[in-house]
Amino acid sequence: MPDTVLLTGASGFIAKHILLHLLGAGYRVRATIRNPARADEVRAAVLPHLAPEAADRLAFATLDLERDNGWDTALQGVTALVHTASPFPIAQPRDPDDLIRPAVQGTLRALTAARAAGVGRVVLTSSIVAVVNEAKGFPQDETDWCNPDLPTTTAYAKSKTLAERAAWEFVAGTPGMQLTTINPGLVLGPLLDDAFGSSVGLVRRILAGKDPMLPDFAFPPVDVRDVALMHLRALERPETAGRRFIAADEPLSMPQMGQILRAEYPARRIPTMVAPKPVLRLLALFDPQVRSILPKIGKVERLSNARARSEMGMSFVPAAEALKATAASLIGRRLV
Ligand code: NAP
């Protein structure tokens, strides 16, 4: 009988790719969704890429990060927990707790139920936003931590940092439980269906050509297929326990993204010009999305992926290829 993995947030962009890898590797997967009506959507995204017998190894459970119902039962008989579910909105909410509460309490709910069920192995999808230390220069690596108390730390970065910290603290106090975190940059790459999250939404916004200029801010993309593979490798390599792993390629600035996409789709009106900082300051007065990136203008966030290369044997899809794959999916599916 193959091992059973509980995968939370299975309706998500990244989780569908993780599900594909887990089923492809022969695991049984109990996939959690908060809306049971979305089980068919998840099946339809993943199963056509696999042998027909994979369908027999996929089951669903309905769980909400903010409710206790169902967690204990869902973790019964499970060998490992892969926890990806966490809110990732494109704009920061008015009340940061709208993100922090489900992220932190949801992580603790998952871990508490795992402990009660005797599940010893946990892989958590964190983020580079839990790594980047605004007070330091770049490059940074897994030894760095975001300071959630800085006024410039967004609600999302705070939610991911506090959730990851809570997970490490929980595991430190739980003998026999082993945690690996995967800390991805901007996750791009092909879509498995028409549902997409905020990172793909950013590419869609550039492709849609509604913004005349783009902010000069560079951060590292990573292909979703690499992110999914890292979750699988974490599960399969016991030596990754107790470690954080950055999943990121070389940084791209938003105007560079515009240039790459313009070269691919010359007939589209894709912006490539750098938005001057005074203009952004003005826009930030009205647009919370612009406000949240203002402190990052002019910065190049470069994160080392050396640990993932050496300890997980990863070789990353180049950022430009991941970006082009996102665009091809969006255009091929007529989503932009
Ligand atoms: P996504 O497509 O928006 O997926 C988020 C998942 O979390 C969805 O399945 C969503 O369920 C679930 N979720 C949110 N709030 C929930 C709640 N209260 N109860 C139960 N489930 C809830 O985003 P994604 O990009 O795949 O992100 C997945 C994970 O990767 C998140 O932890 C995110 O922070 C992390 N991450 C993403 C990126 C990136 O660039 N995409 C980078 C670094 C880290 P519904 O479908 O029902 O809303």
Under CATH, what is the fold of the domain 4-332?
Answer: Rossmann fold (3.40.50)
| Ligand 1 atom nearest to 160, measured from its CA | 34
pLDDT of 288 over the 80 cut: no
Mean pLDDT on 63-75 = 97
pLDDT in tens, 198-255: 999 999 999 999 889 999 999 999 999 999 999 999 999 999 999 999 999 999 999 9
Is residue 229 in contact with ligand 1, taking CB distance under 6 Å? no
What pLDDT is stored for residue 22 in this prediction? 98
Q: How far is the CA of 18 from the centre of ligand 1 (A)?
A: 12
What pLDDT is stored for residue 2 in this prediction? 67
Is residue 220 in contact with ligand 1, taking CB distance under 6 Å? no
- Closest listed residue to residue 245, CA positions, set 178, 317, 185: 185
What pLDDT is stored for residue 1 in this prediction? 61
Report CA-CA distances (Å) from 91 to 289, 300, 329.
Answer: 5, 21, 23
Give the phi and the psi of residue 199 in degrees, each rounded to 5: -70, -45
pLDDT of 301 over the 80 cut: yes
Mean pLDDT on 132-161 = 95
Mean pLDDT of the chain: 96
pLDDT of 258 over the 70 cut: yes
Peptide bond just before 215 cis, omega within 30 deg:
no
Strands annotated E in the chain: 4-8, 28-33, 58-62, 80-83, 121-125, 178-184, 186-188, 218-219, 221-223, 244-247, 252-253
pLDDT in tens, 75-131: 999 999 999 999 998 777 889 999 999 999 999 999 999 999 999 999 999 999 999
What pLDDT is stored for residue 263 in this prediction? 98
Share of the chain above pLDDT 90, in %: 92
User: Which residues have CB under 8 Å from 57's CB, separation 6+?
Assistant: 2, 23, 26, 27, 28, 29
What pLDDT is stored for residue 183 in this prediction? 98
Instruction: Annotate 125-155 with DSSP letters as a single string.
Output: E--GGGT--TTS-S-B-TT----TTSTTS-H
Report CA-CA distances (Å) from 97 to 106, 205, 272, 332.
Answer: 13, 27, 35, 37
Is residue 87 in contact with ligand 1, taking CB distance under 6 Å? yes
Is residue 221 in contact with ligand 1, taking CB distance under 6 Å? no
- Token reading at 320: 């430009």
The domain ranges of the chain are: 4-332
Mean pLDDT on 280-291 = 86
pLDDT of 67 over the 90 cut: yes
Is residue 200 in contact with ligand 1, taking CB distance under 6 Å? no
Pocket mutation for ligand 1, best pick of 20, 38, 69, 84 (most atoms within 8 Å of C-beta): 84
pLDDT in tens, 17-34: 999 999 999 999 999 999
Is residue 130 in contact with ligand 1, taking CB distance under 6 Å? no
Residue entry with tokens 């490539």: 272
